[in-house]
């Protein structure tokens, strides 16, 4: 797998200055690309990226621009910042901004907009995803000139710049202050390759390509992104020509391959599927899962190989590590947990549950088909897990508010990073919304691990954190996913971003003439 990542070069003090191409002007833009995804587009209010609370921020990547952006290999590239420098402590970052960019309404982009955007993300009532981390760590945002800005952190955070790309789109200060939060959610304005047209909350958003863009001008005119959670509906839309790219699932792959009008494009290593033992955070409730023997028994009960082959049709592979294959400290010799139902029963008996027990297993509707297989495996050893199926937005809310009990679906990492402490911080730092299970040892080790600067030190941090999380058994490692996309012959070119889910970079799509 070729993977360089956002943090491919680290030094004691480094300056990034890359060649900046001028605005690209497309030929006549024709046609519409329709994307049907099972990932909710609206973990936010309308198009307001400052209210983004979970999941993947697709409008941020297309209607807005960030200081940096990442190419299909997730290499760090210039965005609204044409260059930047970061001190060896990872706490002082200067960005030198482009002076030739305008927002979609014609207002010029300046450092004032960057400072305003970061301060907007920190407003508590907007409940922005990264606010719990940023509000603790951003010491100051200083304007050094109209196109020069400095961000100072309280402590090292190697993942900060990557998060500016992923979810730190820049909003126009003058416009947002004029129309207010509700007005901005209804009619957002950015500097991205697409300008917002319309939307229906929790259903779709639609945008029109700009005529020229400094990164890449789309070759087609309209983009429509639809939230379609029903797997069969997305496949039917693809076959009927109602969608051009759909998030497929494993069982779709054989059907799509048989259709000469369709093809599969794979997105590799987008996320690690785990199951969190949510009860461990509530010791007063006396759950069986408080006993590590019971947690190990649950893991031994899962036939990962069979589920990956027969249920997911090769769209996943059993995985033993906690960190991603591109993260410093990754150890390919760590094998997945073996399938051993008899040993699972023995451990349950030793823990005082010879006849098993009842619990709940929580998943989203789109995950139901493989979580049913997991529940069946658990039942075989005596763990009777009642399925509780959630829609994406309600699951996210219950997750953030720590309302889940029993077992809960959890993607441990996605958009994987080179630095293990940065990659695991979203899911194990106590104040982060994703920290449904954690402990003091892991939390403190991530904070101290953030200070690692040399590659040698970061490898050591990755190995330490991986071992710590695996031995804690706070989560049950299931498998690493590979995302199949069903694509129509209308699409001449599209390369999914490595490690992304959903894989975007939709401005790079080319249509057949």
In order of their start, the domains of the chain are: 23-244+490-511 (3.40.190.10), 270-482 (3.10.105.10)
Q: Output the pLDDT for position 222.
A: 98
Q: Output the pLDDT for position 358.
A: 98
Q: Which pTM value belongs to this model?
A: 0.85
- Pick from 6, 486, 59, 463: which is nearest to 231 by CA? 486
The residues, ordered by sequence, that sit 6+ positions from 477 with a Cβ below 8 Å of its Cβ are 272, 274, 299, 319, 320, 321, 322, 336, 337, 470
- Pick from 270, 319, 228, 158: which is nearest to 496 by CA? 270
Q: What is the pLDDT along the chain (513 residues), one digit of tens a residue?
A: 333 344 433 433 445 544 444 555 556 899 999 999 988 777 789 999 999 987 777 888 899 999 998 887 777 899 999 999 998 778 999 999 999 999 999 999 999 999 999 999 999 999 998 898 899 999 999 999 999 999 999 988 877 888 888 889 999 999 999 999 999 999 999 999 999 999 999 899 999 999 999 999 999 999 999 999 899 999 999 999 999 999 999 999 999 999 999 999 998 888 899 999 999 999 999 999 999 999 999 999 999 999 999 999 999 999 999 999 889 999 999 999 999 999 999 999 999 999 999 999 999 888 999 999 999 999 999 999 999 999 877 888 888 888 999 999 998 877 778 889 988 988 999 988 889 999 999 999 999 998 887 889 999 999 999 999 999 999 999 999 999 999 999 999 999 887 777 788 899 999 998
Q: Output the pLDDT for position 82.
A: 96
What integer best gives the mean pLDDT of the chain?
91
Q: Output the pLDDT for position 270.
A: 87
Q: How many residues does the chain have?
A: 513
DSSP state of 108: B
Strand ranges in 294-353 using DSSP code E only, listed in sequence order: 316-318
Q: In angstroms, what CA-CA distances link 253 with 281, 292, 309?
A: 39, 38, 12
């Amino acid at each position: 797998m070729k993977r360089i990542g956002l943090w491919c070069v680290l030094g004691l003090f480094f300056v990034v200055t890359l060649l900046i191409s001028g605005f690209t002007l497309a030929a006549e833009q024709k046609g519409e690309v329709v994307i049907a995804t099972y990932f909710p587009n609206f973990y936010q209010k309308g198009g307001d990226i400052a209210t983004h609370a979970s999941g993947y921020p697709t409008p941020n990547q297309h209607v807005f621009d960030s200081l940096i952006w990442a190419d299909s290999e997730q290499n760090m590239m210039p965005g609204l910042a044409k260059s930047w420098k970061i001190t060896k402590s990872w706490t002082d970052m200067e960005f030198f901004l482009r002076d030739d960019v305008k927002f979609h309404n014609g207002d010029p982009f300046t450092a004032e907009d960057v400072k305003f955007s970061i301060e907007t993300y920190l407003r508590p009532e907007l409940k922005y995803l990264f606010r719990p981390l940023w509000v603790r760590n951003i010491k100051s945002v200083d304007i050094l000139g109209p196109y020069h800005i400095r961000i100072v952190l309280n402590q090292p955070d190697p993942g900060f710049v990557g998060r500016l790309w992923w979810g730190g789109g820049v909003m126009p200060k003058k416009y947002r202050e004029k129309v207010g939060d509700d007005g901005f959610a209804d009619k957002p304005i950015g500097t991205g390759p697409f300008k917002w047209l319309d939307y229906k909350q929790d259903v779709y958003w639609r945008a029109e390509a700009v005529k020229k863009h400094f990164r890449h001008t789309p070759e087609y005119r309209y983009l429509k992104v639809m939230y379609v959670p029903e797997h069969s509906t997305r496949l039917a839309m693809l076959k009927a020509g109602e969608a051009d790219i759909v998030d497929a699932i494993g069982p779709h792959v054989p059907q799509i391959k048989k259709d000469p009008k369709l093809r599969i494009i794979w997105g590799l290593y987008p996320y690690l599927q785990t199951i969190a033992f949510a009860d461990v955070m509530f010791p007063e409730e006396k759950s069986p899962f408080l006993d590590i023997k019971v947690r190990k028994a649950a893991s031994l009960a899962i036939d990962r190989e069979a589920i990956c082959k027969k249920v997911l049709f090769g769209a996943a592979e059993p995985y033993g590590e906690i960190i991603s294959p591109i993260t410093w400290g990754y150890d390919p010799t760590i094998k997945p947990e073996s399938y051993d139902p008899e040993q699972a029963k023995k451990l349950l008996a030793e823990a005082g549950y010879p006849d098993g027990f009842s619990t709940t297993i929580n998943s989203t509707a789109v995950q139901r088909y493989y979580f049913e297989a997991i529940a069946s495996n658990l039942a075989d050893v005596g763990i009777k897990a009642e399925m509780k199926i959630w829609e994406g937005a309600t699951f996210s809310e219950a997750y953030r508010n720590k309302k889940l009990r029993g077992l809960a679906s959890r993607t441990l990492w996605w958009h994987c990073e080179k630095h293990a402490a940065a990659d695991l911080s979203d899911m194990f730092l106590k104040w982060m919304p994703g920290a449904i299970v954690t402990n003091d040892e892991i939390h403190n080790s991530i904070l101290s691990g953030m200070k690692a600067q040399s590659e040698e030190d970061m490898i050591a941090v990755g190995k330490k954190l991986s071992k710590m999380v695996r031995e804690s058994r706070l989560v049950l490692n299931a498998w690493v996913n590979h995302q199949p996309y069903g694509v129509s012959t209308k699409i001449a070119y599209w390369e999914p971003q490595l490690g992304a889910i959903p894989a975007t970079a939709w401005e790079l799509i080319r249509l057949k003439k």
